[in-house]
Amino acid sequence: MGDLLLRGGLTDGRRRDVAIRDGRIHRLGAELDPTGYETLDVADKLVVPGFVESHIHPDKAFIADRTDGLSAGGPTAQTLVAELKKAFTVDDIYRRARRVMELAVRHGCTTMRAHVEVDAYVELRGVEALRRLQAEWAGVLDLRLIAFAQEGIFHDGVTQGLLREALKTGLDVLGGCPYMDREQRRHIDWFFDTAEGFGVRLDFHADSSDDPSMLTSDYIAEQTIARRMQGRVTVGHLSTLDVLEPDHRARVIDKLREAGLHVISLPATELHVKARGDARRTWRGVTRIGALRAAGVNVSLSTNNIVNPFTPYGHPDLLRQALVAAMAAHLGNLDQMAWLLDLITTNPARAIGLEGHGLAEGCRADLVVLDARDPAQAITEQAEKLYVIKGGRIVAQNTRTSTMTTPR
């Protein structure tokens, strides 16, 4: 691998060169000596850390054409996908998940933590397909896998055993979904017990409802503290936070911060799925991203679903999620857009325990060069990702051209 020098890019608002050696950022500074480097001219282009998908479902991507999708009074997305899942084969999952990974790399993703469904319908076929991709794509896209209980764990006699088996094959995160079981706290307890037993991190799909009595993130926070797992637990959705009374919400957010929970917002899915049964208004269901961040909680954005009943227009492009969040969560002022890119780069890296991810000497050279001068322009114009660099190697190069006539 030749060493690479990114010439004249904009990092943290300053024009600096990035010298990459042995896959890592060796030096950052103005006018570095190019001797011995292959140089890449990125003058006045924004250079940011690689995008990190912290919550995504490649195993059930690209199945929107196998079903009618959501309708008022119709089945939920969970029900539609559960039925389709029975027919998934390893090769079918492999092909669809591979397409997700190709698109993610094309759009700047350098690390992905994916949910793999493990249950009576699909058994361990998703694990087999995703493990194969994990090995094949090493060095292009780092893939981390969560053994995920989308269907709950108390409806049949096999799911708990299958989840344990998935962890034994090497998956290093356990994923729960409390709202899929009637006894949410018992579900959460089982996941903490099992994660403790295997010494793995935990992730929950939590608080998807607009019913405050269904809230679980406060209990997840309590358990995280009681079991000394601070910093090792992530929670996705947290839509319920949006419907709590302000005082109650502030207390819950305090508890989340105390427990070191990492929150992952999934705005595209919330906008498609939420309040389907409410004839009076269209609840958007996106969590309180700004309030969580202001309180010191580590918040990220992720894509979640791709071309399926949960999000038929889902696309693994995190720059798009930044725009969706800006629109859906009142985060469109220039100072807010300036930090939104953190929610798709360094924040999710922290959430999944990815070390050495950032723009500093010594960090892994996982980088994206955007055709923009600053984050607000990148988000607003959905700027092209000119170069995607993984471990110092260019893994995607994109161009966008247009021909037009303008008045003199």
Binding stretches for Zn ion (CB under 5 A): 304
Is 50 or 314 the residue whose CB approaches Zn ion more closely? 314
Residue 143 in contact with residue 114, Cβ under 8 Å?
A: yes
Query: What is the rounded distance in angstroms from the CA atom of residue 360 to the CA atom of residue 29?
Result: 10
CB of 229 to Zn ion, least distance (A): 21
CB of 57 to Zn ion, least distance (A): 6
CB of 371 to Zn ion, least distance (A): 30
The residue with its CB nearest to Zn ion is: 304
Strands (E), 248-401: 262-265, 298-301, 367-370, 385-390, 393-397
- Other C-beta atoms lying within 10 Å of the C-beta of residue 278: 11
Q: Which residues of 24-54 are buried (b: 16+ CB within 10 A; e: fewer)?
A: bbbebeeebeeeebeebebeebbbbbbbbbb
Query: What is the rounded distance in angstroms from the CA atom of residue 211 to the CA atom of residue 23?
Result: 48
**Alpha helix stretches (DSSP H) within 88-183:** 90-106, 125-136, 159-168
Is 54 or 304 the residue whose CB approaches Zn ion more closely? 304
Is 47 or 180 the residue whose CB approaches Zn ion more closely? 180
Is 304 or 346 the residue whose CB approaches Zn ion more closely? 304
CB of 120 to Zn ion, least distance (A): 19
Strands (E), 101-232: 109-117, 142-148, 173-176, 201-206
Question: Per DSSP, what are the bridge partners of residue 29?
Answer: 17
CB of 310 to Zn ion, least distance (A): 8
DSSP character at residue 27: E
Is 179 or 387 the residue whose CB approaches Zn ion more closely? 179
CB of 14 to Zn ion, least distance (A): 37
CA-based nearest residue to 316, from 19, 61, 44, 47: 61
Is 57 or 131 the residue whose CB approaches Zn ion more closely? 57
Is 17 or 53 the residue whose CB approaches Zn ion more closely? 53
Query: What is the rounded distance in angstroms from the CA atom of residue 44 to the CA atom of residue 305?
Result: 34
CB of 55 to Zn ion, least distance (A): 6
Is 210 or 222 the residue whose CB approaches Zn ion more closely? 210
User: Which region holds residue 123: left if phi is over 0, alpha if psi is between -120 and 50, else beta?
Assistant: left
The span from the first CA to the last CA of the chain, in angstroms, equals 47
- Other C-beta atoms lying within 10 Å of the C-beta of residue 170: 10
CB of 289 to Zn ion, least distance (A): 17
